[in-house]
A = this chain, B = another copy of it.
Amino acid sequence: MSVTEIREHFPTFEKELIDDIEAKSEIRSFTAGEQLMRTGQYFKSTMLIVEGLVKVYREDDQGNEFFMYYLQPGQACALSMVCAVKQETSQIMAKAVKDTEVISIPLAYMDEWMGKYKSWYHFVLETYRARFEELLVTIDHIAFRAMDERLEFYLKKHVQTLGSKIIPISHQEIADELNSSREVISRLLKKMEQLGKVKLQRNSIEVIHLS
């Protein structure tokens, strides 16, 4: 991990912090599809995303998984931070969508740097704020919106994050992530296709225009 690479994705970090990160953290790589963390796992470190793309899910006791948000380079998992500090287990699951590289920072430094580097302190708080807000938006959608709206929002978010109008995903996967059923998603997608909003292919959805 080069200094330039860290600086590129975390531009607010001060020089000394970047040096510290370079000296004391460890790089970990995950291939697409691999899990970064599992439900019930203990954290001994916090992870900053440098390369790739990570999907974060909430899992319930029956094994249902529910998509919460993406993590991109320059971001960090709030839960890994908070659980790390408190030495508690998580109830979330994170999965690499693309091949992913993370900076793994041991708990001890994460703590120490909070007092030492203002930029680190602000980064951590901003991470909480951003994830917190994302959870609130998620709650808005499942509490206040019907499935058709939620589906559109889901597609919009994916287009935005993937940077491509074509989302490579099956109806079943969407149904799982929205905690619905495949038939419902298929029907809604078909309706959207008739309205010219999407074009459906096998294992992928091309988004034409969303409201």
A-to-B contact residues, CB < 8 Å: 58, 60, 62, 64, 66, 68, 78-79, 81-83, 85-86, 88, 91-92, 114-115, 121-122, 125-126, 128-129, 131-133, 135-136, 138-140, 142-144, 179
Chain B hits for A114, CB < 8 A: 114-115, 121
Given contact pairs A66-B144, A136-B91, A143-B66, A125 touches B86 in the complex (Cβ within 8 A)? yes
Cα(A128)–Cα(B88), bound, Å:
14
- Chain B residues within 8 Å of A138, by CB: 139
What's the minimum C-beta distance from A165 to chain B, rounded to whole angstroms?
Answer: 27
Asked if A129 and B66 sit within 8 Å, CB to CB, the answer is: no
Pick the residue among B64, B78, B122, B136 that contacts A92 (CB under 8 A). Answer: B136
- Interface residue from B60, B85, B129, B139 paired with A58 (Cβ < 8 Å): B139
Q: Contacting A143 at CB < 8 Å: which of B86, B125, B133, B142?
A: B142
Copies per complex?
Answer: 2
From B66, B82, B131, B132, contact of A139 by CB (8 A): B66
Please indicate the chain B residues that have their CB under 8 angstroms from the CB of A88 in the complex. Answer: 129
The 8 closest A-B pairs by CB, nearest first: A82-B129, A115-B115, A135-B135, A128-B128, A60-B144, A142-B142, A66-B143, A143-B179
Give CA–CA (A3, B1) in the complex, Å.
Answer: 49
- Contact in complex: A144, B91 (CB < 8 Å): no
Give min CB distance, A70 to chain B, whole Å: 16
Query: In the complex, which of the residues B121, B128, B135 contacts A136, with contact meaning CB atoms closer than 8 Å?
Result: B135
Task: Kindly provide the distance from the CB of A128 to the nearest chain B CB, expressed in whole angstroms.
Answer: 5
Establish whether residues B91 and A132, one from each chain, have CB atoms under 8 Å apart when the complex forms.
Answer: no
Assembly CA distance A122 to B81 (angstroms) = 12
Q: Give Cα distance in the complex from A138 to B131, angstroms.
A: 15
